[in-house]
Amino acid sequence: MNLLAGEIVRDAAATQQVLDTLPERIVSALSKPPLAAETVVAACEKLLDALDDAPLLAVMAQLGIGEALGRLYLAQARLMFSRPYLERRLAAELGPDYGRPRLYTPYGNAAPVREQWLPLGVLLHIAAGNADGLPAFSVLEGLLTGNINILKLPVADQGLSVGILHRLISVEPRLADYIYVFDYSSKDQRAISKLIEVADAVVVWGGDQAVEALRRLVPPEVRLIEWGHKLSFAYVTPAGIADQALLEVARNICRTDQLLCSSCQGLFLDSSDLEQVHDLARRFLPLLEQAAGELARPETLGLTAQLSLELYHQELESAYTGSRLYRGKGVSVTAYPDQELALSLQFRNCWVRPLPRGELLQALRPYKNHLQTVALLCGAGEREQLGLLLSRTGLTRLTGGETMSATYCGAAHDGEYPLRRYLKIFSQE
């Protein structure tokens, strides 16, 4: 399903015709008065007013997202696309006077200069095989910064993104010139190359495979903006072991089912004593069970079977790895002797591993560009020193268990302000 000039297009010939005339369409849109952030903010406000939770939850349930996570997504979406949030976010990322040019005389200059944030122009968003609804979110960020947005849909999108963007255009028809959604397969390199040709920057969300493929495809004159996949974990010191703090980590695991970049995959313990690692695993298990009891997840045969197979596999493998699986009701904790930062089995199955602070930098170096959030559970006296240490790895956020997957207005994403990446500073002397 394509969304072109405000219309949903299914016909291949009509799509091809739009693709062929895309350069002219873009020049024509660029010659119109620029898109103001206010227009987009107002459109989001209207869209949210008309939003109904039930059908969206149903769509997410089909994608395997439980109601708890679905409601979390929706609550986040409602907050993040509200007028006050968007306005404050623009101000936080771009400065309070973001909409107006800044006039000043630089040090050592005789004459004043005028500087202004302006859109890059055309963004091509490639959300290869990524989280649901994210493609539409990426386009919204592009709109807020006044860019023309071309979206290449991921395979598994199932109409969610097109649905959101189509509605957005129906509440604000002026946006039609700024949104193009193409449903080309990633394998259709000719079409993708044509889309890249008209773009000022390519925004890619996805795994390293997608990023790598685009690095090869994108010519040097087009900027590549990467939002790669990340992993997050909790770092626990013996002084930080407390049921309440651990329960908060457990709640993150259950609420997100460990599906997000910011989801806790496991716990590193500041110790090299394996007995302590097993102790922590045994202590964490009932807390994880408790959190799972609070947040029910829809059971499907396919998922139950997959997890069951993987847990069984892990039990067999423990003969080779020296790991030990602790099973709980709908949850599990595996204690490993190694220091590997691994993806968990997800869906409430986490790991515990030893990682003494002295070896932390060395052990996390190999993952430098794949790290995101750490929940730090430690004594008050250790916090500053450990925070400094963790900040020297590739991690970009330090939180407690409760807020690992939450965000705040104006927060950086993977260590950067997203809106700034979609803008340029235009100076006039």
Partner 1 sequence: MTARGRLFYSRNLYDLPESDGLFTAALRENLRWHWQRCPEYRALLQSRGFDPAQFQGVGDIAAIPPLPTLFLKRHPLFSVPEQRLLFRAVSSGTKGRASRVGLDWDTSWLALGMVLRTFAFHRLLSPVPVNYVILGYQPRKENRTGVAQTAFGATLLAPALSRTYALRWDVDGYRVDLEGVIDALRRSAKAGWPVRLLGFPAYLLFLLEALEERGLCLKLHPASRIMTGGGWKQFFSQKADRGELYARAEAMLGIKDGHCHDFFGAVEHPILYCDCPRHHFHVPRYSRIVIRDPDTWQPLPYGRPGLLNLITPLMRSMPLLSVVTDDLAILHPGASCGCGITAPWFEVLGRVGLEQIRTCAAGAGELLREVKL
Closest C-alpha to 306, from 64, 35, 52: 64
Amino acid in position 186: S
- Tell me if 397 contacts partner 1 by CB under 8 A: no
61: which 2 tokens? 């349930």
> How far apart are CB 197 and partner 1 at their closest, in Å?
27
* Cβ neighbours of residue 250 closer than 8 Å, sequence gap 6 or more: 284, 287, 288, 290, 291, 292, 401
Residue 405 binds partner 1, judged by CB under 8 A: no
> Which residues, in sequence order, are CB contacts of 302 under 8 Å at separation 6+?
none
- Under the criterion CB under 8 A, does residue 319 sit at the interface with partner 1? yes
Contact with partner 1 (CB under 8 A): which of 370, 413, 420, 424?
370
400 touching partner 1, by CB under 8 A: no
Stretch that binds partner 1, among 21-29, 84-92, 301-309, 350-358 (CB under 8 A): 301-309
> Distance (Å, rounded) from C-alpha 348 to C-alpha 332?
7
Contacts (CB under 8 A) with partner 1, residues 195-254: 205-209, 228-232
Query: In this structure, are residues 94 and 117 in contact, taking their beta carbons and an 8 Å threshold?
Result: yes
Query: Does 308 sit near partner 1 (CB under 8 A)?
Result: yes
Count of Cβ atoms closer than 10 Å to residue 105 Cβ: 10
Least distance from partner 1 to the Cβ atom of residue 363, Å? 13
Looking at 147, 161, 265, 271, which residue binds partner 1 (CB under 8 A)? 265
Neighbours of 334 (CB within 10 A): 25
Torsion of CA 182, 188, 191, 197, to 10 degrees: 110
State the minimum distance, in angstroms, from the CB of residue 233 to partner 1: 10
**Is 367 among the residues that bind partner 1 (CB under 8 A)?**
yes
Q: Which two tokens stand for residue 412?
A: 């950086």
Q: How many CB atoms lie within 10 A of CB 80?
A: 16
* C-alpha pair distances (Å), 38 with each of 144, 243, 318, 410: 8, 46, 57, 17
Nearer to partner 1, 87 or 315 (CB): 315
The correct pick among 243, 317, 359, 384 for binding partner 1 (CB under 8 A) is 317
Q: How far is CA 397 from the centre of its chain?
A: 13
| Nearer to partner 1 (CB atom), residue 81 or residue 227 | 227
Q: Cβ of residue 343: shortest distance to partner 1, in angstroms?
A: 2
DSSP SS3 for 330: coil
Residue 375 interacts with partner 1 (CB under 8 A): yes or no: no
Nearer to partner 1, 16 or 21 (CB): 16
Does 43 sit near partner 1 (CB under 8 A)?
A: no
Instruction: Restricting to residues 147-176, name those near partner 1 by CB under 8 A.
Output: 156, 158
320 part of the interface to partner 1, by CB under 8 A: yes
Query: Using CB under 8 A, which of the segments 15-23, 80-88, 124-132, 135-143 binds partner 1?
Result: 124-132
Query: How far apart are alpha carbons 331 and 336 in whole angstroms?
Result: 17
Pairing of strands 264-269, 397-399: unpaired
Give min distance, CB of 383 to partner 1, in A: 26
Which tokens hold the place of 339?
A: 């220091």
**Burial class of residue 329 (count of CB atoms within 10 Å of its CB; 0-12, 13-18, 19+):** exposed
Task: Determine, following the binding rule CB under 8 A, whether residue 416 of this chain makes contact with partner 1.
Answer: no
Examine residue 277 and tell whether it contacts partner 1 (CB under 8 A).
Answer: no
User: Which residues within the stretch 54-83 sit at the binding site for partner 1 (CB under 8 A)?
Assistant: 63-64
- Residue ranges binding partner 1 (CB under 8 A): 63-64, 129-131, 156, 158, 205-209, 228-232, 258-261, 263, 265, 300-306, 308-310, 312-313, 315-320, 340-343, 346, 366-367, 370
